[in-house]
Amino acid sequence: MSVEVRRDTPKGKSLHATRHIPKDTVIFEEDPLICCQLAWNAACKYRACDHCLRPLETAEENSQRLTGKPAYSLPYPEFCQTKKEDITSCPDCGVEYCSEICKTIANEQYHRVLCLQSHERNMTHPLEQLEEAWKHSHYPPETSSIFLLVRLLARIVQSPNKDEAIRTTLDFCHRSVNEDAELAHKFLGAKFAHNLDLFRELIGKALPNEGIEQFLTPEGFRSLVALIGTNGQGVGSSPFSVWTSNIEKANLDHEEKEKINSFIDKTYEQMFDHTGDFLNSEGVGLYLQQSCANHSCEPNAEIKFLHNNFRLSLFAIRDIEPNEEVLISYLDECSLNRSRHSRQKALMENYLFTCDCLKCLREIDDPDMTSEEEMSDEDCDD
């Protein structure tokens, strides 16, 4: 490994390079402890593997749905990587997987506990009630899902070594009771914070409680909600974007390259017109190693998803020296370009810490941005 996790540092846990890591190299890759698709994303027919989030549509099917044109046709179908012949499903509840491998892993880790028999699907099962309650509390664009917590608990229930599964879960982070309450409130939103007890009650009814009792108390449940709220990593996959990437790598002549690039641009325009900005199969995952990477407003690494599924790649964006801390940004690129005042405010609201990275220290004497300026900076993509 080119990195190691250090514990009991001033930041708690931190990730450090064990050797020189050149710019533009993959530092490590990992699959999540648990992952799930966002509820509204699934409801809007974004077909993805229920375990790894790999798309189940072909690139052409994807473009047809997103443009709203059932007859839309893509050239070069050989550049699509979706293998329809490998798609399989659970014989009891019907959820789909990209392969028998994913179906087997899901069944071994958590799915047996969560599988709803077909005769139980009558909108009275606690898991179905939970899904409806969550969807009506979090309209698109979603950033997380209560079902990440459900799968996390199901994994513990199903584990042959519950103590080890619990230790792994608790290894993410530890916060105070007051911090947990604040983060849970933020995760649910002020308007729906009162649903916390409802979600806890429905999950308690849906899952066998043996081995997870500590997480179903009000305090334990708030702690788990805070955990997924601060550690949940967004995941996105798209058969059309993989197709376009493969086209870009193809050995086409200049004239054909220009023609296909124009076609791709027009296709994206039609997708945006019909569907809006949210074009991917989207989900959220918990990653043990990535969660140890702390924030900097001048990061030396960034997260990418290179495999069109939930496998995360941590990528060096500059040279990293031995013993140097590997740092990512918890903020998006737009937010990173804002003032120190705006960045500090966002990090405190969402993660409850004051950033002391080199960029923030350099800008410590900068004047605070006024509310009017901050409002004008809300959409820096325009």
Looking at residue 370, what is its pLDDT?
47
pLDDT band at 319 (very low <50, low <70, confident <90, very high): very high
Task: Answer yes or no: pTM beyond 0.85.
Answer: yes
pLDDT band at 371 (very low <50, low <70, confident <90, very high): very low
Looking at residue 369, what is its pLDDT?
64
The answer to the question of residue 9 being in a domain is no
At 35-54, the pLDDT tens digits run 999 999 999 999 999 999 99
The answer to the question of residue 170 being in a domain is yes
Rounded to the nearest integer, the mean pLDDT of the chain is 91
As a whole number, mean pLDDT of residues 15-40 equals 97
Looking at residue 27, what is its pLDDT?
97
Token pair listed for 46: 């974004």
Looking at residue 22, what is its pLDDT?
98
The domain boundary residue, chosen from 233, 258, 289: 233
Looking at residue 176, what is its pLDDT?
77
Residue given tokens 């893509």 in the structure block: 74
227 with 344, same domain: the answer is: no
The answer to the question of residue 379 being in a domain is yes
Looking at residue 380, what is its pLDDT?
59
Looking at residue 137, what is its pLDDT?
86
358 with 229, same domain: the answer is: no
Residue 378 has pLDDT above 60, yes or no: no
224 with 345, same domain: the answer is: no
Token pair listed for 127: 């898991």
Residue 230 has pLDDT above 70, yes or no: yes
Vertex 221: Cα angle to 220 and 224 (nearest 5): 90
Residue 2 has pLDDT above 90, yes or no: yes
pLDDT band at 339 (very low <50, low <70, confident <90, very high): very high
225 with 358, same domain: the answer is: no
As a whole number, mean pLDDT of residues 69-73 equals 97
As a whole number, mean pLDDT of residues 291-299 equals 96
The domain boundary residue, chosen from 185, 206, 233: 233
The domain boundary residue, chosen from 233, 268, 288: 233
At 85-106, the pLDDT tens digits run 999 999 999 999 999 999 999 9
The answer to the question of residue 125 being in a domain is yes
Residue given tokens 């798309």 in the structure block: 55
Give the span between the Cα atoms of 264 and 206, in whole angstroms: 45
Residue 14 has pLDDT above 50, yes or no: yes
Looking at residue 258, what is its pLDDT?
95
- Count the domains in the chain: 2
As a whole number, mean pLDDT of residues 203-230 equals 94
At 104-159, the pLDDT tens digits run 999 999 999 999 866 566 778 999 999 999 998 888 888 899 999 999 999 999 99
As a whole number, mean pLDDT of residues 201-211 equals 94
Which domain, by its residues, includes 362?
340-382
The answer to the question of residue 376 being in a domain is yes
Looking at residue 350, what is its pLDDT?
87
The answer to the question of residue 75 being in a domain is yes
At 237-267, the pLDDT tens digits run 999 999 999 999 999 999 999 999 999 999 9
The answer to the question of residue 177 being in a domain is yes
Looking at residue 23, what is its pLDDT?
97
